[in-house]
Amino acid sequence: MKNIHTALVVGANGVIGKNLVAYLQSTGSWKVIGTSRKPAGESAGIDIITVDLLDAVDTAEKFAHLSDVTHIFYTAYQDAPTWAGLVAPNMTMFRNVIETMEKVSPVLEHISFMQGYKVYGAHLGPFRTPAREDDPPIMLPEFMTEQQRYITEAQEGKSWTWSAIRPSVVGGFAPGNPLNLVSLIAVYAAISKELQVPFRFPGKPGAYHHLMEMTDSDLLAKATVWAATNPESANQAFNINNGDLFRWEDLWPKIGRYFGLETAPPVPLPLAEVMRDKAPVWEALAEKHGLQYDYQTMSAWPFGDFVFSWDYDFLADGTKARRLGFHEFADTEQMFYRIFDQMKVDKIIP
């Protein structure tokens, strides 16, 4: 089948971007180009442009030849030590991409970008659930809200449209991306087994019992492309989640059994401290099982502390996308097993 669209996936080597690239390729109707901060050569069979999106000049130079791009899928993210600190770098990158590509590509049709439940204040504490796309914004600074305000204004009078995709915690894996709950749990389980200790939930007691949801990275890729190509979805935001809910108190023992581990009552363990000295354990496991990645690239323990601190319901209403025609769903428990299975095959975990 002849390619009918050209996609620029900004942040192609992340968890979201990597799965998005794979899905676009699987359809047979997309030419795919990716970007990365670090030199990557070819990734998943596509050309990767190494670019510093914080530098407007470098962005303009590296994107100058992309005159055939019809769709931008923006999944890039620059971390910072504070919530307020996230605004400047992430807004700068976003503006540089959009302002450059508006000039470069006369055939630009759509710009898709990733948000999340931060727009509802989910990272700050209990929030209204299920969150809906038309819920009022929280007080700034919050970079996802800033990005939506910017693109809404930039789109006025233009022929291209936009969509904002709001996943929950994303389930997937990308090498070298430690901000990943699935790989973090897998590493925690492997080290627990090696040290012959039970598989304890390490978060706040309340987090073990409250309702939670996730978003499968494969499902997210399908939803993202759907929103970018469905005319009825233009200039809107969409919550995208698996469609089921769970409590860690139910799922955690099942994950333990998958790894051959017994569970014990939760204990609030600060992973950033408890796991700081466990690199030698992982290195021994890596040597024994021929694993590919070192300890630092496998898990960001402060991220685990963050997710496991949510002692309140964490969910959003995903029916808006369904009303407009996106009916895919995923079983969260099976999502974990599928990703764990693939990580074993790829020699990422023992």
Chain segment 52-61, per-residue pLDDT in tens: 999 999 999 9
Residue 286 confidence (pLDDT) above 70: yes
Are residues 304 and 230 both part of a single domain?
no
Distance between CA atoms of residues 1 and 338, nearest Å? 30
Instruction: Give me the mean pLDDT over the 330-346 stretch.
Output: 97
Provide the pLDDT for residue 40.
Answer: 61
Instruction: Give me the mean pLDDT over the 261-272 stretch.
Output: 97
Beta bridge partners of 10: 35, 74
Mean pLDDT score across all residues of the chain: 95
CB 186 within 8 Å of CB 349: yes
Q: Could you give phi then psi for residue 51, rounded to 5 degrees?
A: -145, 145
Are residues 205 and 93 both part of a single domain?
no
Residue that is written with structure tokens 């074993």 in the block = 344
Count of domains for the chain: 2
Q: What is the CA radius of gyration of the chain?
A: 20
Provide the pLDDT for residue 173.
Answer: 86
Residue 43 confidence (pLDDT) above 60: no
Are residues 18 and 67 both part of a single domain?
yes
Are residues 73 and 199 both part of a single domain?
no
Provide the pLDDT for residue 108.
Answer: 98
For 225-264, the DSSP string reads: HHHHH-GGGTTEEEEE--S--EEHHHHHHHHHHHTT--EE
Distance between CA atoms of residues 180 and 18, nearest Å? 13
Distance between CA atoms of residues 13 and 336, nearest Å? 21
Summarize pLDDT for 148-160 with one digit per residue, the tens. 999 999 999 999 9
Are residues 307 and 199 both part of a single domain?
yes
Are residues 140 and 269 both part of a single domain?
no
Say which DSSP state 268 is in: -
Residue 178 confidence (pLDDT) above 70: yes
Instruction: Give me the mean pLDDT over the 81-90 stretch.
Output: 94
Are residues 98 and 133 both part of a single domain?
yes
Domain boundary among 240, 275, 291: 240
Q: Is residue 330 part of a domain?
A: yes
Q: 3-state class of 82 per DSSP?
A: coil
Greater confidence (83 vs 195) lies with: 195
Q: Is residue 291 part of a domain?
A: yes
Name the token pair of 186: 């897998």
269's CB contacts (< 8 A; 6+ apart) are 200, 202
Q: Is residue 350 part of a domain?
A: no
Residue 188 confidence (pLDDT) above 80: yes
Are residues 198 and 309 both part of a single domain?
yes
CATH number reported for the structural domain that contains residue 38 in this entry: 3.40.50.720
Q: Could you give phi then psi for residue 58, rounded to 5 degrees?
A: -65, -40
Are residues 227 and 111 both part of a single domain?
yes
CB atoms within 10 A of CB 73: 28
Distance between CA atoms of residues 120 and 137, nearest Å? 6
Distance between CA atoms of residues 97 and 104, nearest Å? 10
Is residue 208 packed enough to be buried (19+ CB in 10 Å), middle (13-18) or exposed (0-12)?
buried
Q: Domain range for residue 300?
A: 171-213+245-316+325-343
Instruction: Give me the mean pLDDT over the 197-219 stretch.
Output: 98
Are residues 183 and 60 both part of a single domain?
no
Q: Is residue 70 part of a domain?
A: yes
Residue 3 confidence (pLDDT) above 90: no
Instruction: Give me the mean pLDDT over the 261-275 stretch.
Output: 97
Summarize pLDDT for 94-142 with one digit per residue, the tens. 999 999 999 999 999 999 999 999 999 999 999 999 999 999 999 989 9
Q: Is residue 192 part of a domain?
A: yes
CB 41 within 8 Å of CB 48: yes
Q: Is residue 348 part of a domain?
A: no
Residue 44 confidence (pLDDT) above 70: no
Which parts of the chain are beta strand (E)? Answer: 5-10, 30-36, 42-43, 46-50, 71-74, 110-114, 161-167, 169-171, 199-200, 211-212, 214-216, 236-240, 246-247, 263-264
Instruction: Give me the mean pLDDT over the 66-95 stretch.
Output: 96
b/e map of 167-182 (b: 16 or more CB within 10 Å)? bbbbbbbbeebbbbbb
Residue 38 confidence (pLDDT) above 90: no
Residue 211 confidence (pLDDT) above 60: yes
Q: Is residue 98 part of a domain?
A: yes
Is residue 106 packed enough to be buried (19+ CB in 10 Å), middle (13-18) or exposed (0-12)?
exposed
Are residues 290 and 161 both part of a single domain?
no
Provide the pLDDT for residue 156.
Answer: 97
Residue 299 confidence (pLDDT) above 90: no
Residue 42 confidence (pLDDT) above 60: no
CB atoms within 10 A of CB 318: 24
Are residues 192 and 59 both part of a single domain?
no
Greater confidence (13 vs 71) lies with: 71
Q: Is residue 132 part of a domain?
A: yes
